[in-house]
Amino acid sequence: MQKAWFYEEYGPKEVLKLGDFLIPSPLHNQLLVQVRAAALNPIDFKRRQRPIFPSDFPTVPGCDMAGIVVGKGGGVTKFDIGDEVYGNIQDFNAEGKLKQLGTLAEFIVVEESLVATKPKNISFEEAASLPLAVQTAVEGFKTAGFKEGQTVFVVGGAGGVGTLVVQLAKHMYGASHVVATCSTPKVEFVKSLGADEVVDYTKTRYEDIEEKYDFLYDTIGDCKNSFVVAKDEAPIVDITWPPSHPRAVYSSLTVSGDDLEKLRPYLESGKLKALIDPTGPYTFGDVIEAFRHLETGRAKGKVVIFPFPSHHLPSCVPSESKNKITSEMFPQKLSAPSPTLNAVE
C-alpha cells in the first residue's frame, strides 16, 4: 500500500483527505516512479474546486514530480531502474479524462514519453518545481512566434510561470529588453532573474507606461488591461483560459519529456534556475497548508512538497507491484483517511 492525497467531491482545500491506495503496475511504455518531490500548480486547485475536466473520483491531484524509476512495463527504451526523472505527468484519454492519478502519491505510473532525465546538478525539489510551469512558458513563446531581439513585457514576473518567462526571455530566447511587473517586496527578486526593468504594479498603472513593447506575455490573465503596453501588432500571450483580450493567444500545452530535455543545457549551466517559494518546501503531511498558501496568489516561485513518506526507502520495486494491479484499475480500495492530517489548516 501507499499513501496518497485525494478528494471525492469538488470543493475547497478541506475536501482533501489522506488515505491508502494500492501501488499500480506499469503497462506497456509506462514507468513506475517512486515520487521524491512534487509541485503544486493553480490548475490543481481549480480542478478540485469545479469540474474543469471530467474526473473520476477519488481524484489524486498533482501534475509535477521528480523521482526514481522503480519499475517499467514492456516497450520502455529510454529509462532503466534507478534512473532519476522528472516531468509533468498529465495525459488525457479520448474522453478527455486524465489517464492516471496525480503526483501527490508515493508511487505513480507515467508514460515514458512524458518524463526526462533529471539534471544531476539540481535537487529533486528543484526538478519537481519545473515541468508544467516551464513547458507553459516555452509554449507561449513558440505559439506566438517570438523573435530574437524583440522587447518583452511580462505581467506577473514573480509567479511560478512568470519567473521562468523572465529567465527564458533573457537567457534563452535573446530578448533585447525585458520588463516585468510585480509587487514592491519582489522587485529586487525579479531583477535578479534577469529583468532589465521592473514595474511595481502597486505604484504604476499600465496607462502610465509610455514605452510600447514588441511582445506581451501575461501570466495572470490581465490582458484586458495590460494590452495597452503592447505595440499595435505585437503578439499577446495569455496563459489563462479564456483569454481576457481578443488579440491574445492562448497556448494549448502539449506535454512532452523531449521539451524538458532541450532545457538541460540551460539548467546545467545555471542560466535557467528553478525557484522554490521560500515558505517551503512543505512536507507531505502539510499538503492542505501548501494549497492554502498557493491559493493566496502570493507565492514567490513554486510551492513544492518534500519529502514524501517513501523518501527514506531504498529505490527498488515495491513488493505490492508484483500483484496484478494495473494503472487502468487504479484507483483501488481506500482506507479511512487520517483525521489528524485532514484537519491541517
CATH code 1.10.10.10 for 132-249: no
The per-residue pLDDT for 244 is 65
CATH topology identical between 2-130+275-342 and 132-249: no
Contact 136, 251 (CB under 8 A): yes
Query: Domain residues of the chain, as ranges?
Result: 2-130+275-342, 132-249
User: DSSP string spanning 62-84?
Assistant: --EEEEEEEEE-TT--S--TT-E
Of the listed ranges 24-28, 96-100, 134-138, 207-211, the least confidently predicted one is: 96-100
Q: Tell me the pLDDT tens digit for each residue of 167-209.
A: 999 999 999 999 999 999 999 999 999 999 999 999 999 999 9
Averaged confidence pLDDT in the chain: 87
d(CA 110, CA 328): 12
Beta strands in 148-228 (DSSP E): 151-155, 177-182, 197-200, 215-218
Sign of CA dihedral 324, 327, 333, 338: positive
Q: Is 142 helix (H, G, I), strand (E, B) or coil?
A: helix
d(CA 173, CA 148): 6
Which residues partner with 35 through β-bridges?
67
The per-residue pLDDT for 99 is 67
For 163-191, letters b (16+ CB in 10 Å) and e give bbbbbbbbbbbebebbbbbbeeebbebbb
- Radius of gyration in angstroms for the set of CA atoms belonging to the chain, rounded to a whole number: 20
Joined grid coordinates for residue 129: 518545481
Residues 288-315, mean pLDDT to the nearest whole number: 86
Contact 63, 130 (CB under 8 A): no
Q: Rounded to 5 degrees, what angle do the CA atoms 65, 68, 71 make?
A: 115
For the domain spanning 2-130+275-342, the CATH number is: 3.90.180.10
- Give this prediction's pTM: 0.85
Joined grid coordinates for residue 29: 511504455
The answer for residues whose C-beta is within 8 angstroms of residue 240's C-beta and 6 or more apart is 218, 220, 221, 250
Phi and psi based region of residue 118 (left: phi greater than 0; alpha: psi -120 to 50; beta: remaining): beta
